[in-house]
Structure 1
Amino acid sequence: MGFNIDTQKICSELESSDRRLKTTILEELRDKCANGAKTASADEIAQVFDQLYLHLLKCYEDKFESVRDRAVQAVSAFLARLPPTDFHLMNVVSTLAERMGKAETVEPSEEIRLLYIKQLNLMVCLYAKMGSVGVFRECYPLVAKILIKSIKDDYPVVQREGCCTVVNLARVADTQEFRPFTESLLVPLYSMLNHKHAQARISAIEAIGRLSLHMDASGDAMRRLFNEVSPLLMDTMPLVRREVGQMGILMLMELLDRYSFFERILPLVLCCLKDESPEVLNHIYPQWLKCGVQYFNENEAELSQQEISDLPAENYPEDIKRPTIGCRGLVQRSLRLLQLITRETSDWKDNVRLHALKLLYQFVLHAEAAMTAKFFEIYGDLAHACIDSVAEVNAEAAKVADLMGRLLSYDAWIDHGFDGLERNARESYMRCFYHMFTASLGGTYEQLMRLANLLRSTDYSHTLKPGFQHYILKLLDTIVDKSQKINAGQNELEDLYESVYVTGIKVMALSNSLESSSNEDVNFGQMLIEKLVTLLNSSLAKTHERWFHLALKDVENLDAALEDNAEPVMLLDGLINMCHIRATYVHDLIEKVKIVFAHCCDSAQVKIFSSLSLATLFWSKTMNIERERSTQMLSEFVSQIVEPYLTWKAGSNAEAMRSLAMATLCALAQGAESESVEVLPSLAKHMPSLLEDRNVTTRHYAIKAVVYFREMSVEELKPLAYATMQRMDDPSAGIRILAALAVGKLKPKFSETDTEIEYEKEVWDAIVKRAMDLLLLYHESPEKEMKAAVEVTLQVLARSHPEAWEERYQRALPMAQKKDQLHELYNRLTINEAPDPGNTLTSED
């Protein structure tokens, strides 16, 4: 006999109370069975086990842990060598159920509980060859109790082994016999899905996937299964997500009633195809292709016909491989799930929204044109996702919209897309439509014109939302690009470009008002306008002159008490800053400004006047007309906009407007230098009071503007000259310096008759002498900048009036406190050359 064991002696020793003896006997028995009985037949080993099993199983309840441990190992060693019969199956399973199948924990040792469940797993694998024969079906109630207890165990290794046993049992079990126990096994498995160990979650998912093949598909159990497992598609561990996808693959391939559940199974797989982890995608994608092949083989008659005419779109994404016809067919029959997916794009959790959009992307990729009919159902939800506060989410929504624009049937969705824009003038619909429309190949002249006119309306182009403005400009750019690919006449294109220009300039104006410094939208808008100019074969200035008045016409509702942040005020302000003042619309602009000054609040008036003062600096560059007309327009502008606010009025707003009027006048004198020579003299009467204004800003601009009052008679210039000299005593150091410099730049226009010119020269000489006296007085100032300005002006006056300079020097010398400095100044400035023929206070420089 190859397996010689004294069974009677062993049974007697196992009845002993000596722990060491029993432990030794059990270890020897395990080793003999595992290693020493290789020559023994299975029947011989079975004969020995028949005599020992009762005593061995009794040791499972021994009070010593070491005895229980060795007993389980010994029984497992026997089971591994026994022939595939079910003779001892019920005995062992019953013993395990006593130790591990009750509600309370009978076995305190975690390691022994692990041995118990491993032993059960071993029996499942051994008796798998028996199928449904014997008493295995009678063991299911006990096995289920043991498995449930193991899955609920506090020891993670026991839990994982329990899941492994469930998987092995589900592989071989007969569905009809095993089905009654599936739901009771699933309940503890669902609890494991939240386990902190990723490996435990993976084991649970694998077990759930195998059990799903035996479930009753008619009840709510299957619905709960999907609801429990689906959240793990967003698990932080890639291997967990991969296992969910693997479960979906298993159900697609082997679930008997899979056609009824495609809509719920597909998300488990499709989400893995968009997973950020390569180990998930690389594992699931090849198996997904097999699912497609199987579906194609099962529906070959239908799909083979579809494949013939199912060509990829012309603008199919270059970096994406098109799914096979079988994979596409699987998804195309499951589009009812779209509403559930899009509903999750509004979930309060960021990761749920992102997950839903990635899943939606895969549905679009596989469904292609078949999904067009569902567009109206998901348009609103996708549009909302396009403006999600999380950048990653709205970027994914943009990808989905882009793909829809490429793959959906353009003629079928475009009207509904327009309808959404017209009904919902919001950034969300605008973004979604932009991505779809830009990615599509369609776009007729009528559609482009309809879109351009829609964007030109106040609901869109007058928005104050920066994000909205940005996408309006981008959509305008798309219109311009698509306009080059359509059949349209020159006049039609010019009408289209007119709408694009007006919309673009209004959006840029509002964007500029919202952000006073240069911003991306304004820069992008300028590039758009330049593109239009090129297509029109024109210039930027001519384009503004041609169409700007249309944008100005859209500035409405100014006749109200609007603040500076009101949309009409900001639009007008931005338009002035963007395009300045031009001849073709200067009259319209004056009327708009007058309405603001008459009705709007103080802050709005100040805002517009401030922008006008800056715009007038570019008068000579933007007024592209002959000088005579330019002078007339300047005179009209000054008389209607500037002059009414030069006279003194009480109040802080009047003071601010007076300062701005003076600033505008100063800017005009510089920006329209030749025209202002004829216009400014009429305003000279206001200058003395402006030079003495209590507001330092007003005085500052006034003293800067004085030098531009030219071609005036001595009598007209005389008040200005004395008022300017008085400013050398101004409280503001800057104004004192400017006044000292301005005195030397005043230049009268003398009469042509001899009698009058003599008189005027005498009067002007008196003014010059008075100026020299003051300048010599301020030359002793401790302010270095003031002293330098005085020397500059005295040099000019000494050159033009040498006799007066000599006289005033001699007069000032006795009264000077620093005679050496005055003498040094005299030596530097005195010249022996003849004076300039023109008696002026300034040179021509």
Structure 2
Amino acid sequence: MSFDLDTKLICDDLESSDHRKRGATLLKLRELCEQAPDTVSTDAVAADFDELYLHLLKCYGDRFESVRDRAVLAVTAFLERLPPLDFHLLNVVSTLAERMGQTETVEPSEEIRLLYIEQLHLMLRKYALMGNVGVFRECYPEVVKVLIKSIKDAYAAVQREGCATLVQLARVADTMEIRPYTESLAVALYGMLNHRHSAARISAVEAIGRVSLHLDASGEGMRRLLAEVSPLLMDSMPLVRRECGQMGVLMLLELPDRYSYFERILPLVLCCLKDDSPEVLSHIRPLWEQCGRLYYDENEAELSQQEICDLPVENYPAGVQRPTIGCRGLVQRSLRLLQLITRETSDWKDNVRLHSLKLLYQFILHAESAMTAKFFEIYPDVSHACCDSEPEVAAEAKKVADLMGRLLCYAAWINHGFDGLERNARESFLKCFYYMFTASLGGTYEHLQRLCKLLKCSDYSHTLKPGFQLYILKTLETVLDKSSKVTASIEELKELYEHVYVTAMKVMALSYSLNNEDTEDVNRGYVILKRLVQLEETTLAELHERWFALVLLDVENLDAALDENAEPVLLLYGLIHLAQIRSTYLPQLIEKIKIVFEHCCDTAQVRIFSILSIAALSWSTTVRVEREQSSQLLSNFTSEIVEPHLIWKAGAHGEAMRSMAMATLCALAQGAKDEAREVLPALAKHMPSLLEDRNVTTRHYAIKAMCYFQGMSVEALKPLAYATMQRMDDPSAGIRIIAATAVGKLRPVFKTDGEKEELEHEREMWEAFIMRAMDILLLYHESPEKDMQAAAQKSLIELAKLHPTSWEDRYQRALGLARRKDELVDLYAKMKIEDEAKKETD
């Protein structure tokens, strides 16, 4: 006896009806086998096993789990020491197939099923080490049944062990012998690809990679295999994605018909080269370079010639490692896959779109200039992705477009890029073109001019989309950057700058109008204007005076019933805000405004009038001409734009336009004080009715404007003066205060030539007004309204200085009627003190 045991006794014990005796015997047998010294020959162990194996294998079906467990462990202990005999192999595999290769689950214990598959794995390792795996060919059907059952097992550990066993079998099996079973094995493995445990998914991918080396490449099996694994490239676990990459590397290195499947295998590897996880990238990159070396060795004659002149482009992406020539050659022969990749950039799932763009980036990085021929195919899809609703996807599309601009042949893609912009005036195409054009080294004067003319047209510069506006301005910045590097004359550059100015102004105007404030786009536009100022060596004001008329030419289609939010109205509104009113283009601006007032809707007219009233405040600053010419321009502006709307018209619109006209006139009076002295008297005939208008806003601006009516005769000023005085009784407190202030500022121009009686009569008329005004002001001096009291006091002081006699008379009269005499006495004393101080100074 090799182990000093009686095999007959052991057999009897294994046949015992007492399961405890059977279990104890199996446990003791296992311990003896494991503890046997190395001096025991394998022949002796085999001899004992020949006598015991039938009883041991019978225990595999024992109804007690502990007996079955110990039986499997005992057989495993024997197999560890046995030589690879066909006889033992066939018997053990047959038993395993009975216990675990059936359609139904015969063995209920998950732990024992794991022991079964581990035992099969052990036999595979032993026979493989001894170079005798061919003995398995007779039992491939049973082995495959066991493997498929283990792969479909509900127990994750059994599944993983089944995958590991299959990997071992695939490593050593002969392809022709195992090929009939590969399809069924692969189908079983596909079910594990969605397993909730990442370790199970990793095991399944590893097994599928090994099985793929034996598949029949002429059928659909290979295509299905790659299609089943590809979704795991987007798995949430980095190690799963890494395993997919390793599978791709394995196929690129060992698949017999790999040249036929390069375009389908490459995505498995390339996706890992753009993975977010460093552990995936660092593991796959050296393996990918190994694939490149193999491809280079197999195609050295062709690639060695290409390597001689293979230099990277000047603006190669910073921080990006250039692939080896072998790796690039692998990709360049597989560009047919691009159509499939770009199709997925419009998938409804965010992660699919992101994954496809990352894959496209790697294709472009490897293909370099060879990708130029495919530009027309991928241009629309990349453009669409640049405007993706998911920020991460849009950012990846930007990287792809940037890389295309750097690596693709500029002369070959630029014209097609322009064609895409001309046919598709959309933000998406402009974004893609911007990234490419900015990243490229190319850009002739003709290209810059063509781009500027394209952006200047209404399809682009008249857009109301904020994102679109932003990229128009960004593109203009790129044009200015590249303009310093092109060969062009001063006149050509001036024409280019004109287009940039016109486009920038229109985009800025629309951006401001949409938000009623200086947005980021408006500020970016100002940066462009400042650069133009530097390039032209001028000022912003001169730039407006020189080129703004060109912008006005593009304000079209105003002769329609447009509302305040229509694009032409918004454009004109924003332009007036940006450039204000200037002498060089005022006639053209007046014509545009008159068209609005004639054809556009009420709301549009009011909106344009409102921005005019604001711009009018800066007249003296923006209209930089001689006084005489400025007065003439102001006269023309008021007569054509303002005065027609000062005349009373019925209806809410007429009322609103009167208010805006009066606001504009008031702004002009403040913004052009000197010119207003000459222009305002011609409008005096309208003021009395405006001062009594039912609209409080109109009255407010009208009474405010009265402060600037100067240089008029007594006869002309008298009706305005009395109308102003009446406003001190206005229902609006604000208007009363302004009226009290305005009365003190009215200064007529008395005649110096004529008959004495006529001259005296004129002064008497004005004195009569002054006395009446003083009476009312003295009355309001007792007002409980502090602001009104202060305004009345200020005007009384001014009038008393000019008309002391009238003041003495009115003071004495008011003293007897005043309720608060002490305040009036104090006012009188204050005036006396000021007069005496003035005399001493004189």
TM-score range, shorter chain: over 0.9
Taking the TM superposition and a 5 Å limit, the aligned residue runs for 1:201-220 are: 201-220=201-220
Distance in 2 separating the partners of 1:691 and 1:238:
79
- State the partner residue of 2:805: 803
In the alignment, structure 1 residue 766 sits paired with structure 2 residue 750: no
Q: Which amino acid aligns with 1:698?
A: T
Tell whether 2:497 aligns with 1:497: yes
Q: Of 779, 782, 790, which aligns to 2:781?
A: 779
Partner in structure 2 of residue 185 of structure 1: 185
Residues 679-828 of structure 1: pairs in structure 2 closer than 5 A? 679-753=679-753, 755=756, 756-828=758-830
Structure 1 residue aligned with 2:633:
633
Which residue identity is paired with 2:152?
A: K
Report the alpha carbon displacement of residue 831 of structure 1 after superposing the two structures with TM.
4.0
Deviations 1:744-796 (A, max 9, x none): 12222222237344333222222222122112212222222222222222222
**In 1: Cα distance, 2:227 partner to 2:184 partner:** 17
* Residue in structure 1 matched with residue 175 of structure 2 by the alignment: 175
Residue 58 of structure 1 is matched in structure 2 by 58
CA distance in 2, matches of 1:591, 1:562: 17
**For the residues of structure 2 that align with 1:437 and 1:737, how far apart are their CA atoms?**
62
Distance 1:16 1:706, change over 3 A: same
How many Å apart are 1:427 and its aligned residue? 1.1
Give the Å deviation of 1:835. Answer: 11
Identical residues among aligned pairs (%): 70
Contact 1:3 1:37 in 2 (8 A): no
TM-score when normalising by structure 1: 0.97
Following the alignment from structure 1 to structure 2, what is the Cα–Cα distance between the partners of residues 121 and 733?
A: 101
Q: Tell me how far apart the structure 1 counterparts of residues 834 and 37 of structure 2 sit (CA, whole Å).
A: 138
Shift of residue 37, structure 1, vs aligned partner: 3.9
Secondary structure in 2 matching 1:88:
helix
The 1:683–1:208 alpha-carbon spacing in structure 2 relative to 1, beyond 3 Å, is: same
Kept after mapping to 2: 8 A contact 1:85/1:127: no
Deviations 1:129-188 (A, max 9, x none): 355665411211111111111111111111111111111111111111111111111112
Q: Distance in 2 between matches of 1:134 and 1:553?
A: 88
Partner of 1:833: 835
Question: Match for 1:791: what amino acid?
Answer: Q
Per-residue CA deviation, residues 795-839 of structure 1 (Å, 9 max, x unaligned), is: 2223333332222222122322233333333333344737999xx
- Structure 2: where are the runs of 5+ without partners? none
Distance 1:220 1:737, change over 3 A: same
Q: Secondary structure at the match of 1:345?
A: helix
1:381-460 → structure 2 map (5 Å cutoff): 381-460=381-460
Q: How many residues align?
A: 837
Cα distance in 2, alignment partners of residues 134 and 175 from structure 1 = 12
State the shift of 1:48 in Å: 1.1
Deviation larger for 756-765 or 664-673: 756-765
Correspondences of 1:25-424 after superposition (within 5 Å)? 25-129=25-129, 131=131, 135-424=135-424
Q: CA deviation at 1:546?
A: 1.4
Cα shift at 1:36: 3.1
Q: Deviations over 1:35-58 (max 9, x none)?
A: 234331211111111111111111
Q: Is the 8 A contact 1:209 1:247 kept in 2?
A: yes
Mapped to 2, the partners of 1:22 and 1:779 lie a distance apart of 125
CA shift, 1:74, in A, is 0.8
Shifted more, 161-170 versus 822-831: the winner is 822-831
Q: Could you say which residue in structure 2 is the equivalent of 1:645?
A: 645
AA aligned opposite 2:136:
F
Q: Specify the code of the residue in structure 1 equivalent to 2:248.
A: G
What is the CA–CA distance in structure 2 between the aligned matches of 1:40 and 1:713, rounded to whole Å?
A: 140
The Cα of 1:4 is off from its aligned counterpart by 2.3
The alpha carbon displacement at 1:724 in A equals: 1.6
The code of the aligned residue for 2:665 comes to L
CA distance in 1, matches of 2:174, 2:834: 128
Once the two structures are TM-superposed, the CA of residue 641 in structure 1 deviates from its matched residue by: 0.1
User: 1-side partners of 2:5 and 2:770: how far apart?
Assistant: 141
Change (3 A) 1:686 1:136: same
Cα drift, residue 460 of structure 1: 1.4
Aligned residue number for residue 558 of structure 1: 558
Runs of at least 5 residues in structure 1 that lack an aligned partner in the other structure: 838-845
Distance 1:699 1:74 in 2: 111
The equivalent of 1:612 in structure 2 is: 612
* 2:474 paired with 1:483: no
**Partner amino acid, structure 2, of 1:171:** R
- Conserved in 1, the CA contact under 8 Å of 2:7 and 2:48? yes
Range with bigger deviation, 362-371 or 309-318: 309-318
Q: Which residue of 1 aligns with 2:519?
A: 519
- Mapped to 2, the partners of 1:654 and 1:26 lie a distance apart of 111
CA distance in 1, matches of 2:653, 2:152: 79
Q: TM-score, normalised by structure 2?
A: 0.97
Q: Distance in 1 between matches of 2:101 and 2:89?
A: 16
- Report the Cα distance in structure 2 between the residues aligned to 1:85 and 1:132, rounded to whole angstroms: 10
Quickly say closer, same or farther: Cα 1:831–1:769, change in 2 above 3 A: farther
Structure 2 CA distance for aligned equivalents of residues 762 and 116 of structure 1? 129
Q: 1:488-522 CA deviation, whole Å, 9 max, x = no partner? A: 11111111111111111111111111121111111
Q: Does the CA-based 8 Å contact 2:133-2:172 persist in structure 1? A: no
* Greater shift in the superposed pair: 537-546 or 195-204: 537-546
Q: Kindly indicate whether the alpha-carbon contact (under 8 Å) linking 2:358 and 2:396 is maintained by their aligned counterparts in 1.
A: yes
Q: CA deviation at 1:624?
A: 1.6
The one-letter amino acid of 1:782's match is P
Deviations 1:12-69 (A, max 9, x none): 0111121221111111111111123433121111111111111111111111111111
In structure 2, C-alpha distance between the alignment counterparts of 1:744 and 1:132, rounded to whole Å = 122
- Alpha-carbon displacement from aligned partner over 1:209-230 (angstroms, at most 9, x marks no partner): 1111111111111111111111
Q: Deviations over 1:340-368 (max 9, x none)?
A: 10110011111111111111000110000
> Alpha-carbon deviation of 1:203?
0.8
Query: In 2, distance between residues paired with 1:359 and 1:799?
Result: 88
2:528 maps to which residue?
A: 528
User: Hey, what's the Cα distance between the residues in 2 that align with 1:592 and 1:424?
Assistant: 30
Q: CA RMSD in A?
A: 1.6
CA distance in 2, matches of 1:244, 1:314: 34
Q: Is the 8 A contact 1:613 1:667 kept in 2?
A: yes
Q: In the alignment, is the contact (CA less than 8 A) between 1:272 and 1:280 conserved in 2?
A: yes
Deviation at 1:330, TM superposition (A): 0.6
- Separation in 2 of the partners of 1:594 and 1:580? 17
Instruction: Report the CA distance shift for 1:836/1:769 in structure 2 as closer, same or farther (over 3 A).
Output: farther
Q: Compute the displacement of 1:554 (Å).
A: 1.1
| Structure 2 Cα separation of the partners of residues 690 and 586 of structure 1 | 27
Q: Which residue number in structure 1 is paired with residue 546 of structure 2?
A: 546
- Per-residue CA deviations over 1:250-297 (Å, capped at 9, x if unaligned) read 111111111111101111111111111111111111111111111111
The CA distance in 1 between the partners of 2:102 and 2:823, in whole Å, is 116
Output the CA distance in 1 between the equivalents of 2:671 and 2:240.
Answer: 71
Q: For residues 359-397 of structure 1, what are the alpha-carbon distances to aligned partners after superposition, in whole Å with 9 as ceiling and x for unaligned? A: 100011000001110001111111111111111111111
Any idea what the Cα deviations from partners look like across 1:611-635, whole Å, max 9, x if unmatched? 1111111111111211111111110
* Cα contact 1:2–1:39 (8 A) shared by 2: no
> What secondary structure is seen at the aligned counterpart in 2 of 1:471?
helix
